[in-house]
Amino acid sequence: MGKQSWKPGNMLYPLPVVLVSAADKNGEKNIFTVAWAGTICSDPPMVSISVRPQRYSYHMIEETGEFVINLTTEELCFATDYCGVRSGRDIDKWKELNLTAIPGDVVKAPMLKESPVNIECKVEEIKKLGTHDMFIARVVAVHADEKYMDEKQKFHFNEASPIVYSHGSYMSIGEQIGTFGFSVRKKK
């Protein structure tokens, strides 16, 4: 069998799927789903999210220059989908889904208490790209749920049952099949 040639498109899967929370200058808050999010630099720590300018939260992030990336889990899968197909213009998703907004340490955008990891971000640049604009942001604080910490304070994110998005589907992450550097590690 050969390979089919397709027209150019976004086929980079799976992707992290996150819940992004934002608030405007009046304190009106929203939470929405983003699958176009990623790490772009480790020092300084920076991330990006790509958002359509028509999205309800776009103006909040543009206005305040702040947002929080909340990592998602199997337990948050329904909320993750719902927050991606319902608009904050029409409904209070926090209330509708019984989600808990808690304050961060640095930004005014709320964090999602139910998320195992919250990443507070401050926008440094907005790149207008076409259908989506990319918010390039510096990570200003990270919060990890203590229930996934062991006695040595090591964080075990896999115990939170994280999910990813792959071509229209939400998927759980399978078992570990290696660790960073295992391919070159000397055998005992």
Q: Give residue-wise pLDDT tens across range 103-139.
A: 999 999 999 999 999 999 999 999 999 999 999 999 9
Q: Give residue-wise pLDDT tens across range 58-104.
A: 999 999 999 999 999 999 999 999 999 999 999 999 999 999 999 99
The radius of gyration computed from the CA coordinates of the chain, to the nearest angstrom, equals 18
Please give the pLDDT value at position 175: 85
Please give the pLDDT value at position 179: 85
Any bridge partners for residue 165, and if so which? 15, 170
Cβ count within 10 A of residue 42 = 8
Q: Over pLDDT 90: what percentage of the chain?
A: 89
Q: How far apart are CA 125 and CA 135, in angstroms?
A: 6
Q: Could you list the beta-strand ranges (E) of the chain.
A: 15-16, 18-23, 29-34, 37-42, 45-51, 66-71, 101-102, 111-112, 117-128, 133-144, 163-166, 169-172
Q: How far apart are CA 80 and CA 86, in angstroms?
A: 10
| CATH of 15-172 among 1.20.1110.10, 2.30.110.10, 2.130.10.10, 3.40.720.10 | 2.30.110.10
Q: How far apart are CA 13 and CA 166, in angstroms?
A: 5
User: What are the domain boundaries of the chain?
Assistant: 15-172
Please give the C-alpha separations between residue 76 and each of 79, 129, 143, 174, 179, in angstroms, as whole numbers: 5, 30, 17, 17, 26
Please give the pLDDT value at position 11: 82
- 0.75 exceeded by pTM: yes
Nearest residue to 153 (alpha-carbon basis) of 164, 161, 162, 144? 144
Evaluate whether 60 touches 23 at the Cβ level (below 8 Å).
yes
